[in-house]
Structure 1
Amino acid sequence: MSTHSQFLSRFASRFLPYALLIGLLTGCSEPEQPDTLLIDNIHGYSFNNQRELFNFSAMAIRDGKVLATGDSEIAANYPKAEKFDGQGKTLIPGIIDAHGHVSSLGFTLLSIDVRGLASARQAAEKVANYAAEQPQLQWIKGRGWNQVLWPDQQFPTAALLDQFIDDRPVWLNRVDGHAGWANSAAMKAAGIDKNTLSPAGGEILRDADGIPTGVFIDNAMDLIAQAVPKPTADEITVALDTVSKHLLKLGITSTHDAGVSATEHALYRELADSGAMQVRLYGMISSTDPELEQILAAGHSLGSNDMYSARSIKIYTDGALGSRGAALIEPYQDRPDHSGLLLTSAEQLRQLFSLATKAEFQVAIHAIGDKGNRIALDEIEHAYNTVGGRHLRHRIEHSQVVALSDLPRFKSLDVIPSMQPTHATSDMNMAEDRIGAERLKGAYAWRSFLNQGSRVVSGSDFPVELAAPFDGIHAAVTRQNKANQPEGGWIAEEAMTIKETMRSFSIDAAWAAHQEDRLGGLTPGKWADFILLDQDIYHIAPKDLWKTQVLETWLAGERVFKAK
């Protein structure tokens, strides 16, 4: 071997391992890998891990996660990256809707929708026309009626439905899901008659002779629902496919599913693990499911792709304001003999908190009335003092009407107010009639919560409200409906800023699901879930926020929706 060859051999044996090591280390940040995607020419906005808003004009993505964000010079760091021109559009993190009902919306999209109709007769006519077009359906199911919008504001009757359809059972959920309207065929199928008693936490509305009128409030709905054929796994899959496409089109990349059955839980886990889940779901297991204890015993359901996670249970304290099922400390102003309904007993609540805490599951507890909220806060405090669980980030879903003396308890007990901005603008036409001006001081109180340091997280409560996030964003900032009424906003002092609102639909919503390290912002290491918009929501007149259109939706660095 020549002297030169011997030198090269010694050099290789001594220094090549170091060279390889240096290559491997620098390769971690080596910008020239072709599997990198560079999004540039954008007006980007996101929140960092300190919940601060920052801007960027370019973003690098690899393996579905954010590598880096910065200005246009970032392109120089990734010369071999695939490039995507954002054409100067606004880019924000994908919306996280912190409270929805996924399969319910899916089935609503696949059934008859009577939302917004001007009378009970119009609703009945629409149902009859739908039934005529669907002769194969054994039951006619739908959703969306709201007697508050009708001239007489009276609950509908089975007799009216019977005039239009009496050959098949009809079951229509009220818009808030806390009341149902049945025809006589449905009541007959469920065995309902004059002698049927209202269950605890529910009410069968009756006429002067004690005959059920066809409207069932809260737990009384179960009397009809138990007769309705349960959806099969295949039907749930179709509903999930339908709702997933709908949500992605609206810019929602993740949603918290408020009430997941055992069947749905198993199906969601299977779809997520197989790669078939289309939108991220955070599941709250329904506390009334017969398999709750087995699910809790199995522990958190977490997947490596974060498409389905479940570490929460959903409990109800009371009903809804529109159907007068929300539990109030004092009676309803427009029904002085009635104070609402309690859907879960104190004994059950304590047992559920104990079960959840021991399994390290968060509790998300539905509470709308001031009594419902007080009970929820009392039970959370009792749980802290007996079994613990403060670290679990318990939530009160809706936190809608709260006694002024109870507002500070959300902060002192570290309870998350999980709220839905469009509830305020939907309820403003009847809320004062229900509870009076004095109790409104603690109602829909987003600013009061924020001022005391509580983290408000936002959702829509679909299908109670539309799943349209920019309707909610507009409502949060303006306290107005889409007609920009009332002028100046309804209880305008409780409005949020656009920055606070977007935080509540992103990083704070992720935090409320223990997902802030992986979702809710476009910072290195988090999933590249984002949307492109047709206008800069941070620099437009607030009255135009609801008009925002989603141009594209991306999930884990892949485009999953593009507007035509």
Structure 2
Amino acid sequence: MSETADLIITGGRIFDGRVRTSDTAVAVRGNKIVRIGTDTEMFELRGQDTRVLDAAGGLIHPGFVDAHIHAASAGAERLSIDLTPATTVDETLDLIRAAAERSDAEWLTGGGWSHDLFPLPTRHQLDAIESDRPVVLSDAGHHTLWVNSRALDIAGLDRHTPDPHNGMIYRDDDGDPIGYLNETATELVGRFVPPASTEEIHAGILNAQGYLWSLGVTGWHEAILGDYNSQADCTPGYVRAIADGTLRSDVSGALWIPPGLTAPDVPKLVARFAELRRRNAAAGFATSTAKAMIDGVPHGGTAALLEPYCNHSHDGSTGGLHFTEDAVRAFVTQLDAAGFALHLHVMGDRGIRVALDAIEEARATNGTGPRHHIAHLSMVHPQDARRFGPLGVTANIQGLWAAPDAFAATMIGEERMLQGYPFRTMADAGADLAMGSDWPVSSADPWLAIHVTVNRWSPEPIPESSGERAGSVDTLDAEHQSLTLTQALGAYTSGSTSLVLGRPGRVQVGERADLAVATTDPFGLEPSAIATVRNAATVVRGELVFVRE
């Protein structure tokens, strides 16, 4: 008689990571999948202690793996001042006020505020809530800070403080800082914020893990390991969570390349990263990836473009790179030779071209190497979109962003906005696909991202705005840039798992039992209804860790 299963999931349809199959059930023993087939075949493995979960017609699929996420900081924000739930100006200010009233911390920190609601936030708004203690709040994109007067005073910022390279201190008509800082200017205040302790980071990681399980996310790639803005390096928190067994999801991470690195300093950085990789691997934490932000973001006018911005306040500007092109070529080539995969944040079309040129040079110099990936992809010239496949560069997609964006249209023009996120062009040219959320920059719910990737419109309402908005933008070029449901779901499961965790991420006998069950089978729905799908259950290493009530 065959050994019994520990867990049986029946009554569903299986997506194996690449295709939807005719199978309806899966059996798990320990942390492995031991059988796939019909309900009847699975019940042959049922024993006295076997747990049976009825999928109730839902889709059984590999657990989602988020290929670009800031889980540690997101979890910490959820435990501090979390502004992401706010949909109005008043709701945002009320959340800050409530946090100030309940907290006795010397510094009030958090983030998640929306540029749609606060296109130009000021210190005066925060001073009205808290003037005695410094307040430092990151935007949802984590490229800007909103601070009060006390924080500016502590940092010594005044009308005489010059803007740093690739950063801006926004000022009033008299030249005084208004409390709004972007890109490298955030570091002027961020360096004074007390760093989170390992205990706080550990708590944030576990908070994030529980939340991600509720969404069917069983693993992820932490996109920044290192000191970044006002955030402490989260590596010690991960090492502790691995050591004490509380981190049960499969996680890898990317070592942070600070902006402004020069070509002569690259050999020293490579040597340091090699030692960190060795040390982290000994602790059970895979960090064979290096992360760099090649440019900024279109919303702040800091993404590097081939043609100028349209917004009058950035008239004639094409943004800028966070490194010289020589430095980009140097660190890409040398890290590639040392076996590091490059995880590159790029938002502008010029930034994409510089990144691809550097990878092409590394391939010519070193031959076949690690799987590099470029995240975000908001602006890609058509010629460059077709280079991903031949160069072996994975498109690391943040699908939720591929919806109409009226604010972006004011910055880069509607035509360029409509041509953004060219997923189909990249896929048709042979690019491998992975998906991630960039949470807490945007929602961590994979089904929302998949909906937008397939439909090219957002199911979520646009938040109330306190500033001028661009005219209505109703459609994107969905006919030739959307992905199929199979492509999108595959990217968020086996595509991401293969890229950042180095294993197949499939529903197959012998594979690790990291699984999720959806509330319905999306393949039986109209594409416009994909956003109604929710996660019903999550299995990590063979253990049922979440069941929707």
Q: What is the match of residue 499 of structure 2?
A: 512
Gaps of 5+ in 1: 1-30
Q: Is the 8 A contact 1:202 1:343 kept in 2?
A: no
The residue type paired with residue 554 of structure 1 is V
Q: 2:416 and 2:460 mapped to 1: Cα distance?
A: 26
Aligned ranges for residues 41-440 of structure 1 at < 5 Å? 41-47=10-16, 51-75=18-42, 78=45, 80=47, 82-89=49-56, 90=58, 91-115=60-84, 117=86, 123-134=92-103, 136-149=104-117, 154-261=119-226, 263-288=233-258, 293-299=271-277, 308-334=285-311, 335-388=314-367, 390-425=368-403, 428-440=405-417
The 3 A distance-change label for structure 1 pair 533 and 196 is same
| Amino acid of the structure 2 residue aligned with 1:86 | L
Question: In structure 1, how many angstroms separate the alpha carbons of the residues matched to 2:50 and 2:273?
Answer: 44
Partner of residue 7, structure 1: none
- Structure 1 range deviating more: 125-134 or 310-319: 125-134
Deviates more, 1:115-124 or 1:137-146: 115-124
1:207 deviates by 2.4
Residues in 2 aligned to 1:560 and 1:514: alpha-carbon distance in whole angstroms = 20
Pairwise CA distance, 1:488: 7.9
Q: How much has 1:88 moved relative to structure 2?
A: 4.3
Query: Is the deviation greater in 324-333 or in 283-292?
Result: 283-292
Instruction: Report the 3-state secondary structure (helix = DSSP H, G, I; strand = E; otherwise coil) of the residue aligned with 1:373.
Output: helix
The answer as to whether partners of 2:398 and 2:435 remain within 8 angstroms in 1 is: yes
Question: What is the CA distance between 1:74 and its match in structure 2?
Answer: 2.7
User: Which structure 2 segments of 5+ residues have no match?
Assistant: 228-232, 260-267, 463-471
Matched to 1:406, the amino acid is D
Q: Does 1:491 align with 2:458?
A: no
* Contact 1:317–1:342 under 8 Å retained in 2: yes
Query: Could you tell me which residue of structure 2 aligns to residue 534 of structure 1?
Result: 519
Q: TM-score, normalised by structure 1?
A: 0.86
Secondary structure of the corresponding residue to residue 300 of structure 2: coil
State the shift of 1:414 in Å.
Answer: 1.3
What's the % identity of the aligned pairs? 27
Describe the superposition over 1:342-392 as per-residue Cα deviations: whole angstroms up to 9, x where unpaired: 22333432342244223311000100011111111122122223344x431
Which has the higher Rg, Structure 1 or Structure 2?
Answer: 1
1:32–1:79 contact (8 Å) kept in structure 2:
no
Change (3 A) 1:239 1:65: same
Q: Is the 1:119–1:147 Cα contact (8 Å) retained in structure 2?
A: no
- Which amino acid counterpart does residue 142 of structure 1 have in structure 2? G
Identify the residue that residue 15 of structure 1 maps to in structure 2: none
Worse-matched range after superposition: 70-79 or 139-148: 70-79
1-side partners of 2:70 and 2:173: how far apart? Answer: 36
Cross-structure match for 1:25:
none
Judging changes above 3 Å, is the alpha-carbon distance between structure 1 residues 73 and 400 closer, same or farther for their aligned structure 2 residues? same
* Equivalent runs, 1:452-531 vs 2, <5 Å: 452-482=429-459, 489-493=475-479, 494-513=481-500, 515-517=502-504, 520-531=505-516
Cα displacement (A) at 1:447: 1.6
Distance 1:385 1:514, change over 3 A: farther
Task: Check the 8 A contact 1:166/1:184 in 2, yes or no.
Answer: yes
Q: Report Cα offsets for 1:254-304 as digits up to 9, x if no partner.
A: 111111228533442343244221322121111239987434235467879
Counterpart CA distance in 1 for 2:188 and 2:75 is 23
Amino acid at match of 2:365: T
Contact 1:529 1:555 in 2 (8 A): yes
CA gap 1:358/1:292 in 2 versus in 1, 3 angstroms = closer
Task: Report the Cα distance in structure 2 between the residues aligned to 1:324 and 1:200, rounded to whole angstroms.
Answer: 14
Match of 1:546 in 2: 531
- What's the CA shift for 1:253? 0.5
- Give the aligned residue type for 1:85: V
The answer to whether the Cα contact below 8 Å between 2:281 and 2:287 also exists between their aligned partners in 1 is no
Relative to structure 1, the CA distance from residue 239 to residue 468 in structure 2 (aligned partners, 3 Å threshold; closer, same or farther) is same
Shift of the 162–443 alpha-carbon distance from structure 1 to 2, 3 Å rule, reads same
- RCO greater where, 1 or 2, for CA within 8 Å and sep 6 or more? 2
Q: Is the 8 Å Cα contact of residues 280 and 308 (structure 1) preserved in structure 2?
A: no
Query: How many residue pairs are counted as aligned between the two chains?
Result: 522
Note closer, same or farther for the CA distance 1:523–1:225 as it changes in structure 2 (3 Å cut): same
Q: Which amino acid is the alignment partner of residue 68 of structure 2?
A: H
The amino acid across from 1:477 in the alignment is V
Instruction: Calculate the aligned-residue CA RMSD, in Å.
Output: 2.7
Report Cα offsets for 1:535-560 as digits up to 9, x if no partner: 11221222332222222211011111
